[in-house]
Structure formats: C-alpha cells, structure tokens
C-alpha cells in the first residue's frame, strides 16, 4: 500500500508530461494515400497546404484540418503540382475557384488595403492621441492653491482641533 502511494504521484506526473508533449506536437491531417512519391513535389504541396485556409474550419490550414473539403483541396493541390503547375499557378487557380478567403494570409491589393492598413493606422492614431494628451497636461497651468483669509484659517484650525 505504501509503494502505491509513492508510485501513483509519479505515474500522474509522467502521464501529465506525456499529455503536454503530445499536445504540443504538430498534427497534420495529411493521409498516407494523399502523399506524393516525389519528395520535392510533396514538400511543395505541404508548403502550399500550410498557406491555404480550410473553408470548413476557417482558422486552420488544409494541412492541419481533417474536414473532407480540406482533404479534397489537398488532393487538388497535389494533382495540380503533378500536372506541372508552379506554386503561383496552383494558388491562382484556387483563388479563382474559391476567392481570396482561401488564403490564410490575404494578398495586398486595393480591396485588402484596409485589412492590412488598419492595424498600423490605429497604432499611429493611438500614439498621436497619447502624445497630444501628455503635451496638454504639461502645458496646462498649475492650479494655484486657494488662499484663505485669516478668519478662514482660524476657523479651519478650530475645526481640525475638534
């Protein structure tokens, strides 16, 4: 019984560490039947798959998603690469078919300028407002202390003594 009390915390720690390590490992949903025999083409396909959004999961790349549509897109990418398309041609094909939303990192263009420009603009505006506030406080005249008449000072000291 005493050995069980010693062994149980050690097993709990080991299982916890195993869970943390296994959760931190990158998971790829690429199935073995999807992979290409050519390692160069497979590496290109994996790189492209990490840049494409799963339309079902929306915050995962198709490389990480197990959704059926992500599987179809991974297969499509590999088919286009086997057909001889360049990486840019594969991306352009998918953008033409599914729209810019399929890209995890949208391209900079006139209709995505607000998306790319808003964070830096908000930062500049915030810093400008903070600087203006600091300057305004520095430039503001100091508020003079109120001057009390001798009678008011005597009354105040009487009040404070009580």
Residue-wise pLDDT tens digits, 119-147:
899 999 999 999 999 998 888 777 777 78
- Whether the pTM exceeds 0.75: the reply is no
| 57 close to 102: Cβ distance less than 8 angstroms | no
- Helices 68-82 and 39-51 sit at what angle, rounded to 10 degrees? 130
Nearby residues of 112 by Cβ (< 8 Å), 6 or more positions away: 100, 106
Task: Please state the CATH superfamily assignment of the domain spanning residues 25-102 in this structure.
Answer: Cytochrome C biogenesis protein (1.10.8.640)
Q: Which of 120, 34, 35, 51 is nearest to 92 (CA)?
A: 51
Residue 42 scores a pLDDT above 70: yes
On average, the pLDDT of the chain sits at 80
Instruction: Tell me how crowded residue 51 is: count the other CB atoms within 10 A of its CB.
Output: 16
């Amino acid at each position: 019984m005493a050995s069980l009390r010693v062994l149980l915390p050690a097993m709990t720690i080991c299982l916890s560490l195993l869970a943390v390590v296994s959760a931190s490992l990158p998971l790829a949903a690429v199935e073995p039947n999807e992979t290409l025999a050519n390692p160069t083409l497979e590496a290109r396909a994996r790189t492209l798959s990490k840049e494409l959004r799963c339309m079902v999961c929306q915050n995962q790349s198709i490389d990480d998603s197990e959704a059926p549509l992500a599987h179809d897109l991974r297969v499509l990418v590999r088919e286009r690469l086997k057909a001889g398309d360049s990486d840019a041609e594969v991306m352009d094909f998918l953008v033409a078919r599914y729209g810019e939303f399929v890209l995890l990192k949208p391209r900079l263009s006139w209709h995505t300028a607000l998306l790319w420009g808003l964070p830096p603009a908000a930062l500049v505006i915030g810093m400008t407002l903070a600087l203006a506030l600091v300057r305004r406080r520095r430039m503001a005249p100091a508020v003079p202390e109120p001057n009390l008449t001798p009678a008011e000072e005597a009354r105040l000291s009487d009040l404070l003594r009580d």
